[in-house]
Amino acid sequence: MKVRVRYAPSPTGYLHIGNTRTALFNYLYAKKHGGDFVVRIEDTDIARNVLGGEESQLKHLKWLGIDYDESVDKVNPKYAPYRQLERIDIYKKYAQELVDRGLAYKCYCTEEELLAERGGLTEEKSSHIHYSRRCLKRTPEELRELEKSAEFTIRFKVPENKTYTFNDIVKGEVSFSSNDIGDWVIVKRNGIPTYNFAVVIDDHLMDITHVLRGEEHITNTPKQIGLYEAFGWVPPTFGHMTLIVKEDGKKLSKRDPNYVAFISQYEEMGYLPEALFNFISLLGWSPEGEEEILSKSEIIEKFDEKRLSKSPATFDKNKLTYINNRYIKELSIEKLVALCRPHLTKYHIIDGRSEEWINKLIELFHDRLSYGAEIVPLYQEFFEGEFGIDDEELTLITQDGVRETIEAFKNNLQNITEFTEEFIQTAIKSTGKEMKVKGKMLYMPVRIATTSKIHGPELPKVLELLGKEMVIENLDKTLSILTA
């Protein structure tokens, strides 16, 4: 049987780290086993759907390279439609089948009656309080009367004393007792199916063989298995992936202000899709061997569902920036410029600058960048702000002979014909020869005197970008401090 897996987002929000991980592991599973990866839109929670949610989900899956085989924009007529709201008639038919077979029943209890039954608790807060089956016990006369009202839900009649056992890909054997489940609603008053009902019908009709999803769904699984049994269908194999937690062990929330949750934000910040793909693949899975920087095809090849973690996956921010930096280092200069330039433009940093200057500035930080937008703070750190020698720097440049070195450098710099990296390098070297200094005792004074920084990227490159006028001005400022 061909492997078919699905990612089934509700368009109640945008693609974030948590649901991307689900999508990615399903994708990897499909690709590893030569199967199909389907994206189905579970939009039945109408009030919670957000405008653009579906579009964002699909757009960012594509951006990440999580290429799906079927969805709303890649239709296989055998399985379409892929939006649940377009499948309402299908669910109605199956719900009716259960009613006709006495495996489900109409419930006419009003919200008020149900609330009273649960002692005032909402349904979510009272999963331990089971529905009283009042409507199952009504007399035919009562039912005839109630039918006129046409306001009803349909409940699944959960069999008693049954144990639902399944072999979870991640958790191993898991069992639930049917006695812990009340008769749950499969179709709401408005005729829209609930998640647990629609998901079973769809997974069955779409020939889904494996369901990999977040562990928060594990308590839904016995409800779903109950339905598979009622219909006489074979359930898919389930796998429930552990939570993603923060470094402090608490659950990662998409609303946590200290974490970037949404893929669109990573794109905006200049993260690379390949790096995110790599990083997210390691959230709850580890390849055999030490190497963690892996291309998409290597990840597919190495993916093994048996290596899905049984303990929570930690979202390590440093690891993400490390991985992204590794991928940025591999970029061609053209791609690097394309990644960084919009950020410089946004802050008017490159207004009126030549292409050459812009390219050189970006290239200067090639190895340091963790993400594209970081070009802005890096620029600000090394090229902006007041020239000011602090105490530590002053101690370094008031050492014996340093002032002479700085003077000699200024002299050599003034004599060069072109203010380019190569000529600046030559000026530094001749200063060293002249003053008989090298290494730190040469570069450190020159760097401080020209940039008022002790460390920084390659000095001749920085100076070329600063321009002759600015460099000479800074040298004069330093010399005036030293002569004062």
Tell me which residues are annotated as active site. Answer: 254
Which of 4-12, 31-39, 60-68, 274-282 is the region at the interface with ligand GLU (rule: CB under 6 A)?
4-12
Among 199, 227, 283, 344, the residue binding ligand GLU under the rule CB under 6 A is 199
Encoded tokens for 40: 């189905």
The single residue among 42, 202, 374, 393 that binds ligand GLU, judged by CB under 6 A, is 42
Spatial separation of the C-alpha atoms in residues 40 and 202, rounded to whole Å: 9
Nearer to ligand GLU, 241 or 272 (CB): 241
Q: Which of residues 359-398 bind ligand GLU (CB under 6 A)?
A: none
Confirm or reject binding of residue 9 to ligand GLU (CB under 6 A).
yes
* Amino acid of residue 386: E
Separation CA 416–CA 413 (nearest Å) = 6
**Contact string (CB under 6 A) for ligand GLU, positions 158-177, x = contact:** --------------------
Orientation angle between helical segments 402-415 and 421-435, nearest 10 degrees: 140
Instruction: Determine the 3-state secondary structure of 69 from DSSP.
Output: coil
In the list 3, 5, 8, 444, the residue contacting ligand GLU (rule: CB under 6 A) is: 8
21 binding ligand GLU? (CB under 6 A): no
Query: C-beta of 27: minimal distance to ligand GLU in Å?
Result: 14
Which segment (2-10, 60-68, 71-79, 111-119) binds ligand GLU by CB under 6 A? 2-10
Nearer Cβ to ligand GLU (212/471):
212
3-class DSSP assignment, residue 348: coil
CB of 263 to ligand GLU, least distance (A): 15
Cβ 199 to ligand GLU shortest distance, Å: 5
81 cis-preceded (ω within 30 degrees of 0) = yes
Using the rule CB under 6 A, which residue among 60, 213, 343, 461 binds ligand GLU? 213
Residue that is written with structure tokens 């990662």 in the block = 252
CA angle 139, 144, 147 (to 5 degrees): 120
Residues 6+ apart with CB under 8 A from 420: 464
* Whole-number Å distance between alpha carbons of 285 and 455: 39
Q: Please choose, from the candidates 268, 260, 266, the residue with its C-alpha nearest in 3D space to the C-alpha of residue 342.
A: 268
Number of amino acids touching ligand GLU (CB under 6 A): 7
Q: How far apart are CA 342 and CA 337, in angstroms?
A: 9
Query: β-strand 36-39 against 4-7: which pairing, if any?
Result: parallel
Binding mask 215-254 for ligand GLU (x = CB under 6 A): --x-------------------------------------
User: What is the binding site for ligand GLU (CB under 6 A)?
Assistant: 8-10, 42, 199, 213, 217
